[in-house]
Amino acid sequence: MSPTNKVEELQEEIERVKKEADQLMINKIIKYEKEIYQLKKDLATEKEEHQYDNLVHESEMKRAIRRARPV
Rounded-to-integer distance, Cα 45 and Cα 47, Å: 5
Write b or e for each residue in 30-63: b if 16 or more Cβ atoms lie within 10 A of its Cβ, otherwise e: eeeeeeeeeeeeeeeeeeeeeeeeeeeeeeeeee
This model's pTM is above 0.85: no
Render pLDDT for 22-67 as a digit per residue (tens, 0 to 9): 999 999 999 999 999 999 999 999 999 999 999 999 999 999 999 9
